[in-house]
Amino acid sequence: MEDEAFCDISGKPISLDCQTHSSFCREFTVSSSKMSIGKVMVYTCSVWLLAYAVFFFTQVIQNSHLLL
The domain spans of the chain are 1-33, 35-68
Is-above-0.85 flag for pTM? no
More reliable by pLDDT, 4 or 12: 12
SS (H, E, C) the chain: CCCCCEECCCCCEEEEEEEECCCCCEEEEEEECCCCHHHHHHHHHHHHHHHHHHHHHHHHHHHHHHHC
pLDDT (tens digit per residue) in 12-63 = 888 888 888 888 888 888 777 676 778 888 999 999 999 999 998 888 777 7
